Amino acid sequence: MTALTLKGINKSFGTVHVLKDIDLEVEEGEFVVFVGPSGCGKSTLLRVISGLEDASSGEITIDGKVVNATPPAKRGIAMVFQSYALYPHLNVRGNMSLALKQERRSKAEIEERVAEASRMLNLTDYLDRFPSELSGGQRQRVAIGRAIVRQPKLFLFDEPLSNLDAALRMNTRLEISKLHRTLSASMIYVTHDQTEAMTLADKIVLLRDGRVEQVGSPMELYNNPANQFVAGFLGAPSMNFLPASTLNEGDNRTLGIRPEDLTLDPEGPLSGKVSHIENLGGDTNLIVDTEGSELTVRLFGQHPIDVGDQIRVSAQQNKQFFFDQDGRRVA
């Protein structure tokens, strides 16, 4: 059964057309990540799904029911916001139980669900604290707990980790992933961090300018991008693009090659001067100036190369992507 179906969703703010003909299916228990550059409409799409904004046209079906006219609280969803959005006047327990109280659940049931959620998120010791007395990571866990207690059919996350520091972000990412496995609920997760997208997603939806560019599993998108935009967006450092004519005379396509698919090779067809080196210990990233374009080369391990060295590289034959003038993938 599908947890969410979007059919022909459009959304305009006045004359600004933000979402354009979006079709999407989310299966039960699936973890779907929306990625895309800033301003492409990810948050807007999430708000349309949650009912905080009305779609200008199109049909939203959650769990088999068309919910276009259903208020957010009755859609069977829960949402976690980037800014936590905890109620400042309620303590952690109050924050988590408010929605259940609104639904007029029994006291015993509320208590049980809050206890379970706070155990899952290690919040048991903090139930009587107020949001202002918690750290950023704890606040975000409370926000997640507030979503869990409602036992929604669909979780919506809008960049939940972007206010956290790097270490905490990694921990919380693992926690969310674990949560998805234990709860086996459907989740939609918005981010513009591609590591989060690649590591969490069963399915990535890549958006640009309010349109879906490609939908698929992380590896599908990585190994088989439909166009130049998708190819350039996923992967860090991002894919190199150069005129294909540098390798084959008279070819007017664009060649795309990932930094890790370039290797040092004294006989290689591409040559250039190293202009910058990033030594990461496990990896070494070289920025190489070839005539006309800049290449990023990612080498495994450590290498005795200096800025200013002339090097030659070759590109693995079966890892090359070709795009036409409009950015469509042709080979």
Partner 1 sequence: MHTARTNPLNTLAMHGALILYTLIALFPVFVILINSFKTRKAIFREPLSLPTADSFSMIGYQTVMKQGDFFLYFQNSMIVTVASLFFILLFGAMAAFALSEYRFRGNMLMGLYLALGIMIPIRIGTVAILEMMVATGLVNSLLALILVYTAQGLPLAVFILSEFMRQVSDDLKNAGRIDGLTEYTIFFKLVLPLVRPAMATVAVFNMIPIWNDLWFPLILAPAEEVKTLTLGSQVFIGQFVTDWNAVLSALSMAILPVLILYVIFSRQLIRGITSGAVK
Ligand X SMILES: Nc1ncnc2c1ncn2[C@@H]1O[C@H](COP(=O)(O)OP(=O)(O)OP(=O)(O)O)[C@@H](O)[C@H]1O
| Contact positions vs partner 1 (CB under 8 A) | 47, 50, 52, 71-74, 77-79, 81-89, 98-99, 102-103, 131-132, 139, 146, 150, 163
Backbone angles phi, psi at 190, to 5 degrees: -100, 135
Q: Which does 91 bind (CB under 5 to 8 A by kind): partner 1, ligand X, Mg ion, none?
A: none
Q: Which is nearer to partner 1, 81 or 241 (CB)?
A: 81
Q: How far apart are CA 32 and CA 58, in angstroms?
A: 20
Q: How far is the CB of 67 from partner 1 (least distance, A)?
A: 13
Q: Which is nearer to ligand X, 49 or 148 (CB)?
A: 49
For residue 60, CA distances in Å to 26, 46, 49 come to 12, 12, 7
Comparing CA positions, the residue from 126, 2, 97 lying closest to residue 59 is 2
Q: Which does 258 bind (CB under 5 to 8 A by kind): partner 1, ligand X, Mg ion, none?
A: none
Q: How far is the CB of 95 from partner 1 (least distance, A)?
A: 9
Asked if residue 41 binds ligand X (CB under 6 A), the reply is yes
Q: How far apart are CA 86 and CA 88, in angstroms?
A: 6
Backbone angles phi, psi at 229, to 5 degrees: -65, -50
Q: What part of residues 43-102 is at the interface with ligand X (CB under 6 A)?
A: 43-44
Asked if residue 192 binds ligand X (CB under 6 A), the reply is yes
Q: What part of residues 22-81 is at the interface with Mg ion (CB under 5 A)?
A: 43
Among 16, 69, 108, 280, binds ligand X (CB under 6 A): 16
Comparing CA positions, the residue from 192, 193, 197 lying closest to residue 177 is 197
Q: Which is nearer to partner 1, 150 or 203 (CB)?
A: 150
Asked if residue 234 binds ligand X (CB under 6 A), the reply is no
Q: Which is nearer to partner 1, 100 or 311 (CB)?
A: 100
Contacts to ligand X by CB under 6 A: 13, 16, 18, 36, 38-44, 192
Binding site for Mg ion (CB under 5 A): 43
